[in-house]
Amino acid sequence: MIHIAIIGSGPAGYYTAEAAQKAFGETARIDIIDRLPTPFGLIRSGVAPDHQSLKAVARRYEKTALTEEVRFVGNVPIGDDGVTIAELQDIYDAVVLATGAPHDRKLGIPGDDLPGAFGSAAFVGWYNGHPDFVAAQPPLDHSTAVVIGNGNVAIDCARILAKTSDELASSDIAAHAAEALGTSRITHIHIVGRRGPHQVSFTPKELGEMGRLERAAAVADPAAFPPETEDEALDPGQRKVVGFLREFAGNAADKPVTVSFDFFTRPVAIEGDLAVEGIEVERTRLTDDGRAEGTGEMRTIPCGLVISAIGYRTSPIAGVPYDEGRGRFVNEEGRIAPGLYCVGWARRGPTGTIGTNKPDGYAIAELLQSDLSDTGKPGRAGLDALIEERGLQAVRFTDWQKIDAAEVARARVGAPREKFVHVEEMIAAATTP
Ligand code: NAP
pLDDT greater than 90 at residue 328: yes
310: CB partners within 8 A, 6+ apart: 104, 105, 107, 120, 148, 149, 151
Q: Which of 76, 64, 65 is nearest to 33 (CA)?
A: 76
Question: Which ligand 1 atom sits closest to the C-alpha of 54?
Answer: 41
Query: Could you give the number of structural domains in the chain?
Result: 2
Find the mean pLDDT for residues 162-170. 98
Q: How far is the C-alpha of 18 from the C-alpha of 15, rounded, in Å?
A: 5
> Which CATH number characterizes residue 405's domain?
3.40.50.720
Nearest CA to ligand 1 atom 33: 152
Q: How far is the C-alpha of 102 from the C-alpha of 345, rounded, in Å?
A: 9
Q: What does residue 355 show for φ and ψ, rounded to 5 degrees?
A: -65, -25
Q: Indicate if 342 and 304 belong to the same structural domain.
A: no
* 196 touches ligand 1 (CB under 6 Å): no
Q: How far is the C-alpha of 192 from the C-alpha of 243, rounded, in Å?
A: 18
Cβ count near 393 (within 10 Å) = 13
Q: Indicate if 319 and 376 belong to the same structural domain.
A: yes
Q: How far is the C-alpha of 139 from the C-alpha of 181, rounded, in Å?
A: 10
Q: How far is the C-alpha of 11 from the C-alpha of 48, rounded, in Å?
A: 15
Find the mean pLDDT for residues 33-45. 97
Strand, coil or helix: what is 335?
A: strand
pTM over 0.85: yes
Positive or negative torsion for Cα 401, 79, 361, 105:
positive
User: Which band of pLDDT confidence, cut at 50, 70 and 90, is reported for residue 122?
Assistant: very high
Q: Which of 108, 119, 94 is nearest to 309 (CA)?
A: 119
Find the mean pLDDT for residues 284-294. 97
* 95 Cα: distance to centroid of ligand 1 (angstroms): 29
Q: Indicate if 198 and 88 belong to the same structural domain.
A: no
Question: Which ligand 1 atom sits closest to the C-alpha of 199?
Answer: 46
Domain final position from 280, 308, 336: 308
Question: Which ligand 1 atom sits closest to the C-alpha of 150?
Answer: 9
Q: Indicate if 284 and 390 belong to the same structural domain.
A: no
Nearest CA to ligand 1 atom 4: 151
Find the mean pLDDT for residues 134-151. 97
* 310 Cα: distance to centroid of ligand 1 (angstroms): 5
What's the pLDDT at 62?
A: 94
Q: How far is the C-alpha of 53 from the C-alpha of 423, rounded, in Å?
A: 26
* 52 touches ligand 1 (CB under 6 Å): no
User: Which band of pLDDT confidence, cut at 50, 70 and 90, is reported for residue 373?
Assistant: very high
* 112 touches ligand 1 (CB under 6 Å): no
* 311 touches ligand 1 (CB under 6 Å): yes
Structural domain that includes position 97: 2-102+314-430
Q: Indicate if 287 and 275 belong to the same structural domain.
A: yes
Q: How far is the C-alpha of 9 from the C-alpha of 138, rounded, in Å?
A: 28
User: Which band of pLDDT confidence, cut at 50, 70 and 90, is reported for residue 433?
Assistant: confident
Q: For the chain, what's the residue count?
A: 433
Q: Which of 150, 147, 138 is nearest to 114 (CA)?
A: 138
Q: Which of 271, 346, 288, 336 is nearest to 313 (CA)?
A: 346
Q: How far is the C-alpha of 10 from the C-alpha of 8, rounded, in Å?
A: 6
Find the mean pLDDT for residues 100-111. 96
Nearest CA to ligand 1 atom 25: 151
* 150 Cα: distance to centroid of ligand 1 (angstroms): 6
> Which CATH number characterizes residue 165's domain?
3.50.50.60
Q: Which of 9, 19, 2, 3 is nearest to 358 (CA)?
A: 19
What's the pLDDT at 42?
A: 95
Find the mean pLDDT for residues 175-182. 98
* 344 touches ligand 1 (CB under 6 Å): no
Question: Which ligand 1 atom sits closest to the C-alpha of 351?
Answer: 32
* 101 touches ligand 1 (CB under 6 Å): no
Q: Indicate if 73 and 122 belong to the same structural domain.
A: no
pLDDT digits 0-9 by tens, 200-214: 999 999 999 999 999
Domain final position from 263, 293, 308: 308
pLDDT greater than 90 at residue 432: no
* 48 Cα: distance to centroid of ligand 1 (angstroms): 15
Choosing from 55, 153, 198, 289 the residue with most ligand 1 atoms within 8 A of its CB, the one to mutate for a pocket test is 153
pLDDT greater than 90 at residue 39: yes
Percent of the chain with pLDDT over 70: 100
Q: Indicate if 291 and 328 belong to the same structural domain.
A: no
Q: How far is the C-alpha of 42 from the C-alpha of 102, rounded, in Å?
A: 9
Strand, coil or helix: what is 47?
A: coil
Cβ distance 146 to 109 under 8 Å?
A: no
Q: Indicate if 135 and 270 belong to the same structural domain.
A: yes
Q: Indicate if 267 and 362 belong to the same structural domain.
A: no
User: Which band of pLDDT confidence, cut at 50, 70 and 90, is reported for residue 172?
Assistant: very high
* 119 touches ligand 1 (CB under 6 Å): no
Nearest CA to ligand 1 atom 16: 310
Domain final position from 275, 308, 341: 308
Q: Indicate if 91 and 114 belong to the same structural domain.
A: no
Q: Indicate if 94 and 107 belong to the same structural domain.
A: no
* 158 Cα: distance to centroid of ligand 1 (angstroms): 13
Cβ distance 224 to 175 under 8 Å?
A: no
What's the pLDDT at 164?
A: 98
Q: Indicate if 264 and 194 belong to the same structural domain.
A: yes
pLDDT greater than 90 at residue 254: yes
